[in-house]
Structure formats: structure tokens, C-alpha cells
Structure 1
Amino acid sequence: MLNDKVRRLANFTWGIADLLRHDFRQTDYGRIILPFTILRRLDQLLEPTRADVIAVASTLPDGIDGATKDMILFDAAGAKVYNTTELSFARIKGQNPGDLHRNLVSYVMGFSAGVKDIFVDKFLFTESLKRLSDAEILWHVFEEFTKLDVSPTDVSNLEMGYVFEELIRRFSEQSNETAGEHFTPREVIHLIVELLLANDKALTGRGVIRTVYDPACGTGGILSICEAEIKELNESVRVELYGQEINPESYAICRSDMLITGHDPEQIAFGNTLTQDAHKNGKFHYLVSNPPYGVDWKKYADPIKVEARDLGHEGRFGAGLPRISDGQLLFLQHMIGKMRDDELGSQIGIVMNGSPLFTGGAGSGESEIRRWLFEQDLVAAIIALPTDLFYNTGIQTYAWILTNRKEKRRQGKVQLIDASADRFWRSMRKNLGSKRREIHEAAREEIVRMFDGMLNGSVGWGEYSKIFDTADFGYREIRVERPLRLVFQVTPEGIAALCRDKALLKLDTETREALIDCVESRLPTSRINDRPAFENALAKALKGAGIKIGGPVKKAILAALSARDEQATVCLDDQGAPEADLELRDYELVPLKEHWVEFFGREVTPYADDAWVDQSYRDHADKGVGRVGYEINFNRYFYRYKAPRPLEELSAELKTIEASIAALLQDVAS
């Protein structure tokens, strides 16, 4: 939730964008306002040590290598960033306005290499400065930013993160873009981190180190909150933050935040996590993310498919590949590939929409991934979150908690928590885009309490928490066949269908006409309920007419002159076994804990005594009859019956509406 300070700062900065109207497109506003805000933040951060940095820089020899220079000047600046010029916002403002563009470019180029990369390569800020100068509004914009007070002593890093995300949300909405679609609400991040920390029993004492990784880190909000939550439990913990981001503006903000907070900015990488893994050999304690929902990966599918095929489980995507239209489960597999294999292991917290829970049937990529997750016993809990939590979407989301070091009581178990119920959220006083609800602190505490206590069933809050065996989500899809029963008869409709068949159309005209005449005149017109009997009659008729046909034509005749009939004799194949009717083929989902023979006898045989199970339809892994699949259906497990409104109440309401309509019609008529 935005506090008054954050809202005031966001409103002031947002107001500066008014100066850009008419000279810039709305889509360009963020590319100017955001880097200017970061520049002002860095300006105020470096002010106390500016003189010391300049003094130390003047003593450095000309041939000093970059790494040594950085180490010395970082120490002088007291941060992972420095500026070697004598310029600052205050000093630039006091100089000739005609030199403003040149001074600002010099100021930007005076920063350490990592910061120059942010402004020049990611924000393209020097280009924006030239455009502002050419439009003759650079001074007005700069002057407004000199009034902005975002000093680290007055505005915390967490508050600054809120300011950035609020600005990006507004810019994306105004320009009708989706850049802010998946910013994770702070209360959701707090909930996930608290769930992860509830599992970490070794977070006390001194000398503790924890690494946190977000493969889709955006502006770094998740990383910042993870660190804050860990430090709150144990201030002496050393927290190392890692991430990767594909959006250049979000990456630039995140990297800037790492610089300002004293973290190593090199641990935040730029690029596509799925195809350009910047932390290839990294293993982390906590892996937390809110990857894009429903975003297709078609453009970069080739390297992912190659890795899955060539490396299997030695790579990141060995469990399977989801459909091309949604890459969420690719991110989850990527994160699992970065879990530590030591005594502590790792924990994952990831927010996804409902698709990874149930999309894809047995044997599909999604189902195979779920199967692997449950068979490896990696899933600890899944929490259904309220709708309308996110800034640009109101969809239902779910928080997954995974670990490769389950405590004994959780082994072989999965906890489902329905936190979408009314008691876990409240309406916001003022909507933020599509965000109309928030998970209040008391509800967050109860969710964590349910998780930590592994509540199960209808005792107290356990009504919203249930424990299942991993196998409870599995099923075996068996193929059920019914025998083919055909009746044969020569009819006008059948002859018309035969004349249109491709096999007949390939014959020459004379042969085709002779064949049709033979069928019409020589075959019995009565119904024949047995296929062999009809085939004998057909063979006799063709022989009498002196016509020879091939297999495709015979097949066409049988298809055109036949119809399914429950009273007909069962058609047999070449081995004398009943032939399956493909139109009657069905599939049954047998719970994994139940044998398919028992299920079939109870659920199918009483209603179709001629049905059988195709035992050649088998699972690729366990070779058993039927294919194994996994899905999670929250509605099934947490359905709550709501009694319909009383008939009297509905009747009274209808009468009131009818009276109201009658009154309106009377007014119109008069």
C-alpha cells in the first residue's frame, strides 16, 4: 500500500511529465522521467562524499586499471557508485543555462562504468537529453527535478521502490502498454517470503549467509523485500541478491537500486533468463519470482527445445515443455535447476496463474512437469490468492511453495490453502489500476499460521487448509472402447455419398457408372445386420457384373452404405476380436490410488457391458495400462455450497421489478 510520502513523491514526479506534452509521445515519458529520478537519487546519495571522491580521484595514476580504480573510489564514496566530476544538480543549476545539456552529459559520463551503462545503453538517456534540449524544455524539466527530494536519509530504499513501480504503472497505463502488468503487490511478496522463512529453522545466530535469486526480477521489489524480511528476523545475516531481467528500463532501475543499497550490481544481469542464463552455475537458498503469465515463448523456442532434448534432466527443462503459449512452467523448472544440493537445500516461492494447475491432459508437457514435481516431492504448498490483487489484471493467482528439503511431517504431502475467501482480503480505499483488493496483515499472519501448523480439515482455520498425499493429484487415463456395430442397406443417400467419394472419383467414367449400376441393381435392398453377410453379397454382385475393385473402393462402398446400429452384429477384425468403434471411444480418469480394473468394473461395466479397456494404451514411464497425469482442482477441494435464495424472496423481487417497469411505461405513455 502506498503511504503518504510515496504518493506525494510519485505525484510530484508524475506532474513533471506535463512539461513533455506536445513535444514527446506518451510512450516516451517514462524513458525521460525514470532516469532523471534515478539521477537525482544518485546525486543526493553521493553528495556527502563528493569532495572525498574527487580528491582521491585526482591522486590516481593515469594508467590505473578499471577494477583497481573502482575499488578505491567505491571505498571513498561509501557505495558501489561514484562520480569523478565536480558537477551536481546544485552546481549545474548555478551555471549558464546554455551549458545545461553539455553539463548533464558530462555529469552522466563521469559516473562509474556500471552506472554509465544504465543511463547510456539501457535508458538511452543521453539521446533523451538531446531531444529535450532541441525542444527547448530541458531547463524546465531539470529545474523541476532539482526540487525533488529523494535523499536516502529521508526516503528508504523500499519507499523508493514503491515510487518507481507506481510511476511505471502510471506510464504503462497512460501509453496503453503492459510493462507494469506483473508488478507484484508488496503484500503478496511479504506473504511468500514469510512462508519461506517459516520453513527456515537455521536462520538464527551469527555468520549466517543467505542468497536470494529472482529470474524475472523487474525493478527488484521482490529482492528488496526478501532482504528486509530476513534482516528483520536476524540483523546479522548477510544477504546476497541475484537476478535477471529482460526489460531494459526495469533492469536499469533494479541495478540502480543495487548500487544505492551497497549490493554488487554485477549480480543483476540483463537478458532473457530462459535462453541466456546469466547465473548458469548459480545455486541459491531462496528463489522467489512472479514470472510473466500467458506469454508465449515461440520466438525463442529453438534453444529451449534443444536444451530439453540434448540435456534432459541434466539441463533445466528435462521434465517437459509446456505449450508454446505460456512459459510459466519453464521459469519454475529453471528455478528448480538452481536449488542447492546441500544440507539446507533451497526453497522456492513463485506466483503463477491457474494454468499450471490443470492445463494439459495426461502425457502433455504441463502434466508431465506436474508429475515430476509431485513424484520428486518438491511441492510443499499451493495458496489460492484473491482476485484483483495486481495492478493491471484481476485474474486468479496462486503462490507455490517448493523445497528440496521437506521436513519429515511434510514428506509425501502437499498443503492446499484457499486464501481467496472473503476473510483474507479487504477492498482498497482507492483502486490502483486493476488492483482493488489487498491481503491485510492479520490475514497474512493467519495464512502463515495455517501453513506452519499444517492445519487440515474443518477445525478452526483448517476449513481453508487441507493436506493431501502427492498421489491424490494423480490419475491414470485409460482408453475405453466399444464394439463397432454396423447395419448395411442400399439407399439413395448412400448412393449419393458413394458418388462423392474420392476413391470413386479416381475411377474412369465407364467403370464408375458400371459400379454404381451394380450396387443399385444387384445388391439386396433390405437391411443387412452383419458385415460379413454384406461383404459376401457385394462380392457376389461384383462377380456377376464382371467388376473387380481394390481395397479403397471397397472401403468406400462399406462406409457409404453403412450406419451404426446397436442391434447389429458386432464387427470383428482379422483376428476375430471385436473391432473398436472410434466414434464411441472414451477415456476415463482413474484415481492413481485405485486399480483401473476395480474402477472399470464399478464405473463403466454396469452401464456398458460390452466395453473393454485398450491395454495397449500405456504410460511411457511406468509402462502400466493408461497414461499417468496430474492436475490440481482447487474448486473440487474447497467447494462451499451456497443455498439458493428462497422462492418467496425471488418472487417478491420480481414483483417489485415488474411494478417499476410498469410505472416507467406509464410515464412514457403519458
Structure 2
Amino acid sequence: MSMNELQKQTNANIQAKANLIWEIATHLVGLFKPHEYGKVILPMTVLKRFDDALKPTKAAVVEMAKKLDAQKVEGTVRDGILCRISGYDFYNTSNYDFAKLIADPDGVEINFEAYLQGFSSNIKDIIDNFDFSNTVKLMVKGGVLFVTLQEFNSAKADMSPDKITSADMGYIFEELIRKFSESYDEQAGAHFTSRDIIYLMTELLVAPEKAEIMAEGCTKTAYDMAMGTSQMLGCLTERLQEISEDAALTCFGQEFNPETYAIAKADMLIKGGNASGMKFGDTLSDDAFSGYEFDYIISNPPFGIDWKREKSQVEAEAKKGFDGRFGPGLPAISDGQMLFMLNGVKKLKEGSGRMAIIQNGSSLFTGDAGSGASEIRRYVIEGDLVEAIIQLPTDLFYNTGISTYIWVITKGKPMHRSGKVQLIDASKCFVKRRKNIGSKRVDLDDACIELILRAYEGFVDETYEENGLVVESKVFDNSFFGFTKVTVETAQADTDGKPVLKKGKKQPVKGASDTEIIPLSEDIEAYMEKNVLPYNSLAYIDPAKSKIGYEVPFTRLFYKFVAPASSDSIFEEIKALEAEETILMKELFGHA
């Protein structure tokens, strides 16, 4: 099945199911604001899916729980036995299910609380992070708890695993979280990245090993440091299993938004994935995976977001140097995205780990030579970790129309890529959407992804064109992006025009300092001889002030000069517009 067909699995049936579930919110009008509907619909959807999944084994679990409680069996032993009977990594030991809850309208509040308390601790964690207890109190106060449970127990909300597969349930979650997100001004992109972008990232991650995985399968680990609803990890799992049935991927992720964390953990539980690998918390200040190494890292961390909240913890870790995550340096406090990049670099498996991470343009060039941002670029480029940087089309994300880039970073560069960085301009490789979603006006279809991969795998300076799609690739030595920023002083001179020396050193003229940017590929003395000394024979460099810098001038490297229109053609265009204006004025006002 092609990536495009996979994308279409979020089809009319799945959307219809999500729409039907979301329509239950009509009962919440007045009690909740539209952007609060998700606080009811999302946790109730999760609970109903679990309820339907547990139905066949529910009686046996309740019976066993009574026996274990009588024998005072507790903790992980009790959990293990009950999970084995339930057939899932979770269970519910209460006497209630959705059907029994609505059979007793008068006792619904007390019974629902008993039902929630009957869940295993991993489900209680999800409920807590939804802040569901406060939502339930408001539902009780407004008299809508019973009718909501009734609606979720109707045929339209049947989520039995034999009716809805784990994959499709994931898509329904995705639809519901999108609806919830879009009811906020912040829109959907705050919570998840669209599948077309994720499919491109997954292809870039597996590209070097694809044939090997196809032939032999694989056992891999993957991590998303800002996982949202965990759809990136889900897509990567799907893609690997599509390449080979013998591909196994164990997923790990961390998320700071409690509701999206709850969705991610619930989603992973339903899919039978590694739900215990889903961690809540702030990746920058409270790293849940210190000491871990992963085969794959796939992530779209927040950009343009400051790290003031995490400042003390980040700075304390930076003092550990390379024993911590932030040894190379710290970016400006106003933008933390490069901290996420460093977090990923630290967690890549030595010799083979691969990361696809999205950044905006500031990671390419912000920060002067010697600044934290420049030092981070220096670290990843001089360390030969940057394999490729791909510029994506604008208007590709739900919540931003700006230029974005996928950085492919690896600790296992193949020999032919050693010492090189490939830049790929895919900004003109897209198809327009029929209907915009937030800021998302374009998509990457199969043809787009295939063309970008052709350029990536070609690893040469070349422009690829196909059916109006254009992708351009350029390959550079690592050192191409480095430069020395030198401070040029003008020496004080005596009456003969010779430099004044003090203790054998030239003395600078105050206020006459200047700087020069000299590429690492050029000899500094030769540069001075050619570009500075012919115009100022007393110029000299103060080596103590020299700094190495790195930047990736992406836009300049792919800039195409377009000659301006000639004055004659502009004049003809003005005449044509004047003629058109005359006709329009006559139509409006007649011959008056």
C-alpha cells in the first residue's frame, strides 16, 4: 500500500465515526464552551474504547480481583494476573460498565466514580492528566453525565476492537484531537503534525536500511521528545511494519501537555504498544530518558518558544559540559528548539542512530560567531553528524505558514557522505489542497515524497523535475559552513607611517576597529593581503578576538536571480491597465 493510500485511511468512514462521537457535544452546549468540549469527548472516547475492549473478559477479571483481594495479593503481581486475564495491559475491577451505569440513572454519579476507581493505575494516570474528575463534577452539576454516558453507549459510539482496528482507532483519535484543537485559536498544529510530513520523515530515517529491513526485518527503538498525541511514533511503526512483517519497533516519548500526553498513552495502550514508554513532563527540564540511546528519533519540537521556565535546570545541566545534553552551548533564551536538537543528539545510538527533526529557519543562521547557537551548529557539523537539511514548502503545517526544515542527523554516516552536508530545496515540491485546514494549504503526496527521496539518495548537485514538481540538491564540504570572524585593527603610526610598538605589539587606533568574515576554506593571511591591506596598509588582526562561527545560508545558496522587467514592457502593461480602467469607468458611469 502506498503512503498516499495509507493517508487516505483517515477516510470518510473514520471521519464519520469521529463526527458522530463529536456530535455528542450537542448535549454540552451552554455548560461548556465550544473549545472545552474536548475535555468531555476525548476522555469519554478513551474510556468507552477501553470498556468495549474489556467487555469479553470483564466478568473473569472482576471474579479474579475478588479472589486476589481476599488473599491480599497486591502490586505488580496482582496487576500481572489481572492483565493476563483481561488480555490487555489494563483492566477494570469494578462491577460497572457503560451499560450497567445507564441502567441506574439515579445512582449514576456514585457508580461512575466507582467505575473510574476500578481501572488499573495506568488508566487512572490517563484520567488524572485529562483532569477528568473536575470535568465530571461540572457534568454532574449541569445534569449531563447520564445523557453523555447514554450517548456513548449507543451504536454510533461502539468502539469494539472487532469493529474498529487499533490503527483506525488511532486515526479516530487523531480526528477528534484535531477537532478539539481547531476549536481553540491555536489550531491543530499545536498538538500534531500532519501525516504527509511524518511520512517524508520516516522515509528519510529508514532510507539507508530499507533494503536490509525488507530482507531481514529489524528490532529497533524510537523516541519522540515532544510527542504530542504520539502520531509520529505511530506512523514510523506503520512504515516499518509495511516494509517487513518482521520489523519490531519499541516506542518511547515525552510530552508536556497533560491532555495530549493522556491521548498518547491511551493510544499506545489500545494499539498494544509500549504505553509504559510514554512519559509526562518537560523534556528540557525533566528528562525522562536520561542515559537512553535510540535507533530512531523523530520529532517536531516547538519553535519560537522561549525556555525561561526551564532556565535554571538547563543552565545547571549545561555546566556538566558533555556529560549532560547541552555541552556545545545554549541558544538565545527566546528560542529553545536547538536545545531539543541537542537532546536528540545525546540520545542517538552510537555508530548507527538516526534523527529527523523539524526546525524553523533560525536554527540555520541565528547567533553571532562564538554564540551558543553558532557553537551548536559547529558541534553538529564539525562532528560530521549532519547528513542533510531539507527545506519544506511553506503553508505545510496546520499552525504556521513559515519556512521549515527537516534536519537529518546521524551517528552512522555512510562513507560516501563522510565530511559532507547535503542541502535539498523542496520548497517548490507540493500539491495544493482543495480545502485549507488552518494554515495548511498544501500537501506532500506520494510523487512529492518520491522526488525528494530521489534527490536525497542521489547525493549530487542536481535539479530534479517531474510533472511540475521541482527539487534541487546541493552537496557541500562540512567546512564550507564555517568561518572565522576576525577583528581588524588599524595600527597607530609614527611620522614615518610606521606602526608604533609597545613591548613589541602594535597599538590600535581607538574607534577604528572593523570585522571581517573569512571562510574556513581560505587562508587568513592571504585573505588580508588580497582584501584588506591594499586599502589599509596599517591594518592587522587581533588574534585574541578571532572567533569561529558556523551558519547555513540556505536561501542565499539556492537564490535564483530573476531579471527585472524592461521599462518598455512595464510601460505597455500600464497602458493596457489604463485602457481597461477607461472601459470599467464607462460601464459604471455611462458617458457622463
TM-score by length of 2: 0.90
Match of 1:151 in 2: 160
Q: Is the 8 A contact 2:485 2:518 kept in 1?
A: yes
Q: Is the 8 A contact 1:352 1:398 kept in 2?
A: yes
Structure 1 residue 606: Cα displacement: 3.5
Structure 1 residue 301: Cα displacement: 0.6
**Paired residue secondary structure (1:442):** helix
State how many pairs are aligned: 575
Match of 1:296 in 2: 306
Q: Deviations over 1:15-69 (max 9, x none)?
A: 3333322212344322112111111221222223333333433443531122112
Q: Deviations over 1:535-579 (max 9, x none)?
A: xxxxxxxxxxxxxxxxxxxxxxxxxxxxxxxxxx99968679875
For residue 48 of structure 2, what is the amino acid of its counterpart?
Answer: R
**Paired residue secondary structure (1:299):** coil
Structure 1 residue 664: Cα displacement: 6.2
Relative to structure 1, the CA distance from residue 74 to residue 582 in structure 2 (aligned partners, 3 Å threshold; closer, same or farther) is farther
Structure 1 residue 199: Cα displacement: 1.9
Match of 1:519 in 2: none
Match of 2:27 in 1: 19
Relative to structure 1, the CA distance from residue 106 to residue 321 in structure 2 (aligned partners, 3 Å threshold; closer, same or farther) is same
For residues 463 and 288 of structure 2, what CA distance do their matches in structure 1 show? 46
Residues 397-406 or 148-157, more deviating: 148-157
For residue 139 of structure 1, what is the amino acid of its counterpart?
Answer: F
Structure 1 residue 443: Cα displacement: 1.3
Aligned mate of 2:87, from 78, 81, 86 = 78
Which one has the largest radius of gyration?
Answer: 1
For residue 85 of structure 2, what is the amino acid of its counterpart?
Answer: A
Structure 1 residue 259: Cα displacement: 1.0
For residues 655 and 150 of structure 1, what CA distance do their matches in structure 2 show? 66
Aligned mate of 2:420, from 393, 410, 413 = 413
Match of 1:30 in 2: 38
Q: How does 1:630-669 map to 2 (within 5 A)?
A: 630-645=550-565, 647-662=567-582, 667=588
Match of 2:379 in 1: 372
Aligned mate of 2:453, from 448, 456, 460 = 448
**Paired residue secondary structure (1:392):** coil
Match of 1:170 in 2: 179
Q: Report the aligned-residue RMSD.
A: 2.8
For residue 291 of structure 1, what is the amino acid of its counterpart?
Answer: P
Is 1:432 the counterpart of 2:423? The answer is no
Aligned mate of 2:262, from 247, 252, 263 = 252
Q: Deviations over 1:612-665 (max 9, x none)?
A: 322332xxxxxxxx2111111111221223343454443333223334555666
For residues 178 and 426 of structure 1, what CA distance do their matches in structure 2 show? 22
Q: Deviations over 1:568-596 (max 9, x none)?
A: x9996867987545544322111111111
Is 1:481 the counterpart of 2:401? The answer is no
For residues 85 and 458 of structure 1, what CA distance do their matches in structure 2 show? 64
State percent identity of aligned pairs. 41
Structure 1 residue 106: Cα displacement: 2.1
Q: Is the 8 A contact 1:182 1:392 kept in 2?
A: no
Residues 649-658 or 311-320, more deviating: 649-658
Match of 2:529 in 1: 601
Q: Is the 8 A contact 2:294 2:347 kept in 1?
A: yes
Match of 1:193 in 2: 202
Match of 1:353 in 2: 360
Is 1:225 the counterpart of 2:225? The answer is no
Aligned mate of 1:212, from 201, 222, 228 = 222
Relative to structure 1, the CA distance from residue 444 to residue 665 in structure 2 (aligned partners, 3 Å threshold; closer, same or farther) is same
Larger strand share, 1 or 2: 2
Relative to structure 1, the CA distance from residue 73 to residue 383 in structure 2 (aligned partners, 3 Å threshold; closer, same or farther) is same
Relative to structure 1, the CA distance from residue 576 to residue 223 in structure 2 (aligned partners, 3 Å threshold; closer, same or farther) is closer
Structure 1 residue 465: Cα displacement: 1.0
Q: Deviations over 1:116-161 (max 9, x none)?
A: 1211x21121221221121112233233323323333443444433
Residues 202-211 or 219-228, more deviating: 202-211
For residues 251 and 260 of structure 1, what CA distance do their matches in structure 2 show? 14
Structure 1 residue 374: Cα displacement: 1.1
For residues 572 and 270 of structure 2, what CA distance do their matches in structure 1 show? 65
Structure 2: gaps of 5 or more residues: 1-6
Structure 1 residue 406: Cα displacement: 1.1
Relative to structure 1, the CA distance from residue 59 to residue 613 in structure 2 (aligned partners, 3 Å threshold; closer, same or farther) is same
Q: How does 1:84-95 map to 2 (within 5 A)?
A: 84-93=93-102, 95=103
Structure 1 residue 476: Cα displacement: 0.9
Instruction: List structure 1 runs of 4+ shifted beyond 6 angstroms.
Output: 459-463, 569-578
**Paired residue secondary structure (2:329):** coil
**Paired residue secondary structure (2:402):** coil
Aligned mate of 1:47, from 55, 74, 78 = 55
Q: Is the 8 A contact 1:181 1:390 kept in 2?
A: no
For residues 169 and 517 of structure 2, what CA distance do their matches in structure 1 show? 52
For residues 406 and 188 of structure 1, what CA distance do their matches in structure 2 show? 23
Q: How does 1:455-470 map to 2 (within 5 A)?
A: 455-458=460-463, 464-470=472-478
Relative to structure 1, the CA distance from residue 22 to residue 483 in structure 2 (aligned partners, 3 Å threshold; closer, same or farther) is farther
Match of 2:4 in 1: none
Q: Deviations over 1:470-524 (max 9, x none)?
A: 1111111111234679xxxxxxxxxxxxxxxxxxxxxxxxxxxxxxxxxxxxxxx
Q: Is the 8 A contact 1:181 1:393 kept in 2?
A: no
**Paired residue secondary structure (1:281):** coil
Match of 1:400 in 2: 407
Q: Is the 8 A contact 2:395 2:401 kept in 1?
A: yes
Structure 1 residue 318: Cα displacement: 0.4
Q: Is the 8 A contact 2:252 2:277 kept in 1?
A: yes
Aligned mate of 1:592, from 515, 520, 523 = 520
Relative to structure 1, the CA distance from residue 615 to residue 6 in structure 2 (aligned partners, 3 Å threshold; closer, same or farther) is same
